[in-house]
Chains A and B, each alone.
Chain A
Amino acid sequence: MIGGVMLQFDFFAWLAGIPDWILGVLKWIYGIFSYVFHWIFNVFTWIWTTIFIPKNFMFLFRAVIFPGLIFVVMALIWAVWFTRKLWGRIQDRRGPLHMGKYGGLQLFADAIKLIGKETIIPDKAKRWMFRFLPGLLLVIVLLPFAFIPWDTVSAVDGGWAISDLNVSLVLAFAFLTAVPVIALLAGWVSGSKYTLIGGFRAANNQFAAEIPMIISTIGCAFLARSLSIFDISMAQSSLWFAILLPINLATFLVAAIASVGVFPFDAPVADSEIIFGWRTEYTGIYFTLTYFAEFAEQMLYSALIVALFLGGPNGLPFLPGPVNFIIKFLITFFFFVLVSSSFQRLRQDQIVYFCWKYLLPLAVLNVIVIMFAVVYLPGLMLPLLGVG
Chain B
Amino acid sequence: MSPDILDGSMDIWFGPQHVSAHGWATKLTLVGDYIVECDPNAGYFHRSAEKVLEFKNFRQGPLVLERMCMLEAFLAEYPYVAAVEKIAELEIPERAKVMRTIMMEMSRIHSIQFWWGQFNAELGFFTMALWPWVDREYSLDVFEELTGSRHTVSFSTPGGVKYDFTEKVMTQLNRAIDRFEDRLVKFKDMQLGSPTFRARTENIGLYDVKQGLKWGLSGPPIKACGVPMDLRKDDPDPNLAYDMVDFDVPITENPEHPGQSDAFDRMEQRFAEAETAVSIIKQLIPQIPEGDIVDPKARGKANRLPEGEAYARVEGTRGITSVWLKTEEKGQTAYRAKIRGPCIASYYALKDLVPGSKFADFIVIFGSLDPYPGWWDR
Q: List the B residue with the shortest CB-CB distance to A90.
A: B127
Which of B18, B19, B124, B362 is the one whose CB lies under 8 Å from A345?
B124
Residues 49-91 (chain A) with a chain B CB within 8 angstroms = 87, 90-91
Task: Name the A residues within 8 Å of B19 (CB-CB).
Answer: 271-272, 275
Interchain CB contact under 8 A, A347 and B125:
no
Contact pick for B122, options A87, A92, A272, A341, CB 8 Å: A272
Q: How large is the interface on A (under 10, 10 to 19, 20 to 34, 35 or more residues)?
A: 20 to 34
Q: Which of chain A's residues have a CB closer than 8 A to the CB of B122?
A: 272
B244 at the interface (CB under 8 A from A): no
Which B residues, 332 to 369, have Cβ-Cβ distances below 8 Å to chain A? 358-363
Q: Mark B75-105, 1 if CB is under 8 A from A, else 0.
A: 0000000000000000000000000000000
Q: Is the CB of A193 within 8 A of B358?
A: no
Residues on the B chain within 8 Å of A197, using CB: 359
How long is the Cα–Cα vector from A266 to B196 in the complex, in angstroms?
A: 13
Give, as a whole number of angstroms, the nearest-CB distance from B135 to chain A: 10
Task: Assess the A349–B358 pair: CB atoms within 8 A.
Answer: yes
Q: Which of B126, B128, B358 contacts A347 (CB 8 A)?
A: B358
A104 adjacent to chain B (CB < 8 Å): no
Q: Which residues of A contact B124 (CB under 8 A)?
A: 263, 266, 270-272, 344-345
- Let me know if B12 is at the binding interface, CB within 8 A: yes
The listed residue with most A CB atoms (<10 A of its CB), out of B10, B20, B197, is B20
Check if A341 sits within 8 Å of B200, measured CB to CB.
no
Nearest CB in chain B: distance from A74 CB, A: 27
Give Cα distance in the complex from A347 to B342, angstroms: 30
A83 to chain B, nearest CB (A): 12
At the interface, yes or no: A342 with Cβ under 8 Å from chain B? yes
8 A Cβ contacts from A344-359 to B: 344-350
A332 shortest CB reach to chain B, Å: 20
**Other-chain residue from A194, A342, A345, A349 in contact with B123 (beta carbon distance below 8 A):** A345
B130 interface residue per 8 A CB criterion = yes
CA gap between A224 and B131 in the complex, in Å = 46
A87 to B127, CA, bound (A): 8
Q: State whether the Cβ of B48 lies closer than 8 Å to any Cβ in chain A.
A: no
Q: B33 touching A348 by the CB < 8 A rule? A: yes
Contact A343 B359 (CB under 8 A): no
> Which residues of A lie under 8 Å from residue B20 when comparing CB positions?
271-273
CA–CA, A267 to B194, complex, Å? Answer: 18
Give the CA-CA distance A341 to B121 in the complex, in Å. Answer: 12
* Contact indicator per residue, chain A 256-293, by CB within 8 Å of chain B (1) or not (0): 00000001101100111101000000000000000000
B28 to chain A, nearest CB (A): 10
Q: What is the bound-complex CA distance between A268 and B363, given in angstroms?
A: 15
Q: Least Cβ distance of A144 to chain B in Å?
A: 28
- State whether A267 touches B131 (Cβ < 8 A): no
Question: Is the beta-carbon distance between B359 and A273 smaller than 8 angstroms?
Answer: yes
**Known contacts A92-B134, A272-B122, A348-B33; A267 and B360 CB within 8 A of each other:** yes
Q: Is the CB of A91 within 8 A of B196?
A: no
A98: CB under 8 A from chain B? no
A346:B196 contact, CB within 8 angstroms: yes
User: What 0/1 readout, one digit per residue, does chain A (318-356) give for beta carbons within 8 Å of chain B?
Assistant: 000000000000000000000001111111111000000
A350 to B204, CA, bound (A): 14
Given contacts A266-B124, A272-B122, A272-B124, contact A347 B361 (CB under 8 A): yes
Check if B199 is an interface residue, CB within 8 A of chain A: yes
Q: Tell me the smallest distance from the CB of B314 to a CB of chain A, in Å.
A: 30
Q: How far, in Å, is B204 (CB) from chain A's closest CB?
A: 10
Interface check A124, CB cutoff 8 A = no
Q: Please determine whether A347 and B10 come into contact, CB atoms closer than 8 angstroms.
A: no
The minimal Cβ–Cβ distance linking B12 to chain A, given in whole angstroms, is 5
Q: With A and B bound together, what is the CA distance between A131 and B122 in angstroms?
A: 31
Interface membership of chain A positions 90-112, coded 1 if the CB is closer than 8 angstroms to chain B and 0 otherwise:
11110000000000000000000
Known: A272-B124, A275-B18, A275-B19. A347 touches B200 (CB 8 A): yes
Question: Least Cβ distance of B312 to chain A in Å?
Answer: 36
Asked if residues B127 and A193 are in contact (CB atoms below 8 Å), the reply is no
Q: Are B361 and A93 in contact (CB under 8 A)?
A: no
Report chain B residues within 8 Å CB of A350. 199-200
Q: How far is the CB of B103 from chain A (nearest CB, A)?
A: 26
Other than the given A273-B359, A345-B125, 17 more pairs (CB < 8 A) read A91-B126, A91-B127, A194-B12, A271-B20, A272-B123, A273-B360, A341-B126, A342-B127, A343-B125, A344-B120, A344-B123, A344-B199, A346-B199, A348-B33, A348-B360, A350-B199, A350-B200
Q: 9 tightest A-B contacts by CB?
A: A345-B124, A344-B196, A91-B130, A272-B122, A344-B125, A272-B20, A347-B360, A92-B134, A344-B197
Q: Which residues in A have some Cβ–Cβ distance to B below 8 Å? A: 87, 90-93, 193-194, 197, 263-264, 266-267, 270-273, 275, 341-350
Q: Offer 13 A-B interface pairs, CB within 8 angstroms, sorted by A.
A: A87-B126, A193-B12, A197-B359, A263-B124, A270-B124, A272-B19, A273-B20, A273-B363, A275-B18, A275-B19, A344-B123, A344-B199, A349-B33
